[in-house]
A and B are shown apart, each in its own frame.
Chain A
Amino acid sequence: MDSHARDPLARTRVIVNAITAVVALAGLADATYLTVAHLAGDNSVCGPSQPCSIVLGSTYAQIVGIPTAAFGVLAYFSAFSAATLAAFGYARARTFLIVIVAAMFAFTLWLLYLQAYVLHAFCPFCLLSAAFTFCLAGLTLATPPAR
């Protein structure tokens, strides 16, 4: 209560960080699903969607033998952890959150570029993940800085 009284934005920070953690959790679910489908060799993930199959079956679907989605799992889990810790007042977690979200943002832009200009096909799961990352970036920017 004391910290809230001293810093009127403390409550807002907690709420925004909590929302950030929830969004990261949704991204984590999406990335986990794609990773499992890739590892299980499940080609039916895309259903009848041809563009989706093109993206998930392309050379870019894995990096040095590791499913690209697995990097997403790691990134979203890191973002979730950082946002949770930040919501509980760990100041350094916020710095880590900014770094990880910035990296995710850059990686997402590269993936979107690949889909639009190299593969000429989009996959809905990847677009959903991009939307989650953009939300995370927006929320991170919107979080009031600590005093």
Chain B
Amino acid sequence: MKRSLPFIIIAAVAVLTAGSGAMLYSSKQRSAAAETDAIGSNGSAMTPEHVRGEKRAPVTLEEFADFQCPACANTALEMIRPLERDYGSRLRVVFWHFPLPNHKHGRDAALAAEAASLQGRFWEMHDMLYRNQLAWSNVDDVHRLFEGYARELHLDVERFKKDFGGAQVSARVDRQQEYGASRGVQNTPTIFINNQVVAPPFSPERLHEAIDAAMPGKQRS
């Protein structure tokens, strides 16, 4: 018995690891399906790909935006960021692409952000594009500039270039834009707070009020 005991222990650990791994996998699959169902209250469910904050935050702020839109840059950097600091774990922020056709490089910027996202740096590219909006908005060829941003963010630039022109990121931008259209989005920025659209113009005070109204207990922090 003593000779076989170590092998019994090893076999038991192997079975336990495989079993608990399988259980964890199926539970994660179930919760992913539940999340998708929860978002799709309007019938066109879509799992957000760009999320900041706690999954179980009581308030979710969704922004449909175009990187070439100055108001989007202002809203994202000057309003939403401070709101995240103010509300902490009680506010979750979701970004959706909605590049407008009248913005020459809006779609290219969205593609750049998605290509960065494939390397785990969506939000860094998001900030980079907004901060440098004036620099790239009026040039003819944005590719070189975007590759420079990718290099600054320590991305694999060759992969970034390949992804930028690839079908995958293009489809991701299209899906998000179609999703916005299905929710009635026409302009940017469009903001939803807990699925309720917030009427523009936006200001920090207006967004605070809308978040406070949606917050259970209705307190800022």
Contacts and interface: CB of A to CB of B under 8 A. Distances in A.
Does A pair with B?
yes
Interface of A: 25, 28, 32-33, 35-37, 39-44, 47-48, 50, 53-59, 73, 77, 80-81, 84-85, 87-88, 90, 118-120
16 contacts: A25-B13, A28-B13, A28-B17, A32-B20, A35-B21, A42-B28, A48-B53, A48-B54, A50-B52, A58-B119, A59-B119, A59-B156, A81-B10, A84-B6, A87-B6, A88-B5
Contacts of B6: 84-85, 87-88, 90
A87 B14 CA distance: 18
Nearest to B154: A120
A36 B24 contact: yes
Nearest to A33: B24
Contact of A48 (B10, B29, B52, B120): B52
A48 B93 CA distance: 10
B170 interface: no
A73 B25 CA distance: 15
Contact of B13 (A53, A80, A87, A120): A80
Contacts of B89: 48
Interface string B133-155: 00000000000000000000010
A58 B9 contact: no
A118 B153 CA distance: 10
A54 B53 CA distance: 15
Nearest to A52: B120
Contact of B17 (A32, A44, A50): A32
Contacts of B156: 59
Nearest to B13: A80
Contact of B25 (A36, A44, A84, A88): A36
B154 to A, nearest CB: 6
